[in-house]
Amino acid sequence: MTKPFLSIRAVRKTFGAFVAVHDVTIDVPKGEFLTFLGPSGSGKSTTLYAIAGFQDPSSGDVLLEDKSLLSVPSHKRNIGMVFQRYTLFPHLSVAENVAFPLRVRHRPDAEVKRKVADMLSLVRLENFADRFPGALSGGQQQRVALARALAYDPPILLMDEPLSALDKKLRQEIQAEIRRIHRETGVTILYVTHDQEEALHLSDRIALFKEGRIEQIGTGEDLYVRPASEFVAGFIGNSNFLPAEHLETAAGAATVRLADGSIVTGLTAAEPFSKGQKVRLMVRPEALSLTPGPASAALAVDIVDTAFFGDRRRVVARTPGGDEIDVRPTSDTIDPAGATAGSGQRIFFDPAAAFLFPA
């Protein structure tokens, strides 16, 4: 069996009585882009800092190529780091900023010159070598920080919310640059963000944190299509949740009664449920339609509002029990005259696209 390139083993971090990270264990293969995703305070940055050596774990271990890093000071771990703040030296030029980690490692001048040129080419800032950070945009400064972090060929690059200070358009542009750089360099990247769209766009795998624990780890598709919990379903993408009563599960397919009395069969349950147990049915907005399919369950609703988004419409509907539902079918499946605010309507979904979670 191939040993992991980086192994985080039962890492725990406490601050007094508060447990920030609960025994987190992750194996990371070489060259992977792994994102730590979660809300603020969920333990993702604390875990990253334990890898970087900025904070010692209270227990557990961090191994790089099967060697523990715990006794290695942060400045000797040879790990690249990019922060939300660009942390560039304002009195140094772009080229001098990129050269700085090479200079402190006493690399030969010829190597420094070559690596600076290579890194500025990688981040497409060849013509900015003599400029100073104050003359650069936020996106350009972050690219300089990325070039500096990669200049000394670190085995791992850690990135802590590097794009959160940028506007949406610039974030998307830099995301594309990060994907390209990862593809071209093959460096192992551990990336922290609270933005699920950013995580889905960038990552090979995502570790979703909740209250210091990993709730689920897998590809973005795994977390979106097969969420392990209601938290995962609610955090990754948009979801509708409807109260229901579990009636039975047979051959792996669950049957429930919704609040309006309708029966839905063929559902996937996140865990075993007893008869009569209160549950929550989750279905994605794009899995709902205003036209029936071959194996559709139906819900009677009142249309509250509609909005047009080009290839899709957003329909807000309300069930007889008062639950609001977000429906996002393709525009060509909606009769605009039928789906108007105040009108009664039936919406449909394939039970195989829905999940049950405990209430």
Which of 200, 217, 234 is a domain's end point? Answer: 234
Give the pLDDT of residue 67: 96
**Positive or negative torsion for Cα 131, 133, 134, 139:** positive
Which whole number is the average pLDDT over 4-23? Answer: 97
To the nearest whole number, what is the mean pLDDT of the chain?
91
Are 166 and 254 in a shared domain?
Answer: no
Distance CA 16, CA 73 (A): 23
pTM for this entry: 0.90
* Structural tokens at position 64: 């790089």
Give the tens place of pLDDT for each residue, 71-98.
999 989 999 999 888 889 999 999 999 9
Question: Is 274 in the same domain as 287?
Answer: yes
Asked if 190 and 258 sit in the same domain, the reply is no
pLDDT value at 358 more than 90 = yes
Question: What span, in angstroms and rounded, lies between the C-alpha atoms of 153 and 123?
Answer: 15
Which DSSP string do the residues of 269-291 spell out, in sequence order?
ESS---TT-EEEEEE-GGGEESS
Looking at the fold, whether 26 and 81 belong to one and the same domain comes out as yes
pLDDT in tens, 242-267: 999 999 999 888 999 998 888 999 99
Amino acid type, 207: A
Any idea what the CATH number is for the domain that residue 274 is in? 2.40.50.140
- Measured distance CA(325)–CA(316) in Å, rounded: 6
pLDDT for 87 equals 87
In a domain? residue 1:
no
Q: Is the pLDDT confidence value at 330 over 70?
A: no
13 neighbors 44 (Cβ within 8 angstroms):
no
With 0-12 / 13-18 / 19 or more C-beta atoms within 10 angstroms meaning exposed / middle / buried, residue 87 is middle
- The domain in which residue 321 lies consists of 239-358
Number of domains in the chain: 2
> Which one of 234, 269, 294 terminates a domain?
234
Full strand arrangement of the beta sheet holding 288-289: 288-289, 344-349, 297-308, 313-318, 324-327
